[in-house]
Amino acid sequence: MLGLMASPKPYRAPVLADVARAADVSVPTVSRVLNGSKYVAPDLAQRVNEAVQALGYRPNGAARSMRSGRRTLVSVLAGATANYGYARTLQGVETAARRAGMSVSITVVESGEDEHVRAAIDLTLAQPTAGVIVLEFDRAGINAAKALPEGLPVVVAGGGSRRTGQVPAALIDERAAGRQATEYLLHLGHRTVHHIAGPTEGKHSGRTDGWRAALTAAGAPAPQIMRADWDASAGYRWGERIAGMSDVTAVFCANDDIALGLMRALSDRGIDVPRDISVIGFDDQPLVALWRPSLTTVDQDFEDLGARAFGLLSQVIGGEPDAASSVKAPQLVVRESTAPPKG
């Protein structure tokens, strides 16, 4: 009859009442001990701690957060996770959150379409979240930030040079960086600088703005913007076309992947970087320093961005009235892919 026996213990996780019984104290006392309240006798506290150990008790997070109203989960909404910038920013958020005793959840917004935005938000808010950090690197993130309900603590992390709307933001000043990169190329003696931009993100991108500003300030002609997706293959395809253009001597790419794809295409066609054409990327992924030629690029401190975003969210959650946006300027890293023009 063994096979028909009901399982003897369906294993129920121990709860506060079990601990209280084992320690022969009341339920609130156990709670007090666990939450480090003073006003509890040492011997009782010890009995409780022993019972907790013995039973392997873990507080039920749902019950805890429901009753106390305290939330220990922060949610990240992002258009992607595995791309370098996203992943590093997420890492920065996670590290900061962990040090503060909070957990991080991540939800991907598949696209900027209403449907995807709404689905992601619904999923995120189904958890008892203390607040939301939106990675505003793409349209999905931008739309998600707009669609979040009022009254919920929200901060944005992104590449603008100033705050977007009313939401506090941790920012990287892409505009300044784009300008600096372009100015560097002009300073080397290039007549103008071509630009491969990322997919259009609403009105403008800071990188593109900075590029244009530098050209205007220097009185240099602004060539037509070349649009590309974020990945290397898009850079490669533009490289094929640029190889046939005689007037291009310097290219500022919206990210490292595009730059590497471009360089490979040029290399495949016998065009030398940086002798024939200079190339600058954006992000400073670890591998680009190994490239031949190593890539001149803009170092964005994504981890710091994530940490700042979390800090800001903490302030907002804490109700601090002057939760101020922060902006940090990325840094140009000069390597081998840039040089004065041939002439």
Interface positions with a copy of itself (CB under 8 A): 11, 13, 56, 58-66, 72-73, 75, 80-82, 84, 87-88, 90-91, 94-95, 98, 101, 103-108, 120, 123-129, 149-151, 231-232, 236, 257, 260-261, 263-264, 267, 285-287, 290-292
Binds 11: which of DNA, a copy of itself, none (CB < 5-8 Å by kind): a copy of itself
**Residue with Cβ nearer DNA (57 or 211):** 57
Binds 35: which of a copy of itself, DNA, none (CB < 5-8 Å by kind): DNA
Binds 128: which of DNA, a copy of itself, none (CB < 5-8 Å by kind): a copy of itself
Q: How far is the CB of 285 from a copy of itself (least distance, A)?
A: 8
Q: Which stretch binds DNA (CB under 7 A): 58-66, 257-265, 267-275, 328-336?
A: 58-66
Binds 107: which of DNA, a copy of itself, none (CB < 5-8 Å by kind): a copy of itself
The tokens of 186 are what? 């002009």
Which of 4, 11, 68, 151 is in the footprint of DNA by CB under 7 A? Answer: 68
**217 near DNA (CB under 7 A):** no
**Residue with Cβ nearer DNA (25 or 154):** 25
Could you count the other beta carbons within 10 Å of the beta carbon of residue 70? 10
- How far apart CA 190 and CA 224 sit, in angstroms, is 16
Q: Which stretch binds DNA (CB under 7 A): 29-37, 186-194, 215-223, 334-342?
A: 29-37
Alpha helices in the chain (DSSP H): 16-23, 27-34, 42-55, 61-68, 84-99, 114-125, 139-147, 174-187, 206-218, 232-242, 256-268, 302-317
Of residues 177, 169, 94, 183, the one with CA closest to residue 136: 169
Q: How far is the CB of 9 from DNA (least distance, A)?
A: 15
- Alpha carbon dihedral 82, 88, 93, 99, in 10-degree steps, equals 120
**60 near DNA (CB under 7 A):** yes
Residues 6+ apart with CB under 8 A from 315: 168, 323
Binds 55: which of a copy of itself, DNA, none (CB < 5-8 Å by kind): none
Q: How far is the CB of 152 from DNA (least distance, A)?
A: 14
**Residue with Cβ nearer a copy of itself (74 or 155):** 74
Q: How far is the CB of 228 from DNA (least distance, A)?
A: 45
The tokens of 249 are what? 């001597």
- How far apart CA 297 and CA 301 sit, in angstroms, is 13
Look up residue 276 and give its DSSP letter.
T
Residues 6+ apart with CB under 8 A from 95: 303, 306, 307
Contact (CB, 8 A) for 196 and 205: no
Phi-psi region of 37 (alpha: psi -120 to 50; beta: other; left: phi over 0): beta
- How far apart CA 277 and CA 266 sit, in angstroms, is 9
**Residue with Cβ nearer DNA (28 or 221):** 28
Q: How far is the CB of 103 from DNA (least distance, A)?
A: 16
Q: How far is the CB of 78 from a copy of itself (least distance, A)?
A: 10
Of residues 186, 175, 191, the one with CA closest to residue 327: 175
Binds 31: which of a copy of itself, DNA, none (CB < 5-8 Å by kind): DNA
Q: Which positions lie near DNA, rule CB under 7 A?
A: 12, 15-17, 25-29, 31-32, 34-35, 38-41, 44, 57, 59-60, 63-64, 66-68, 70
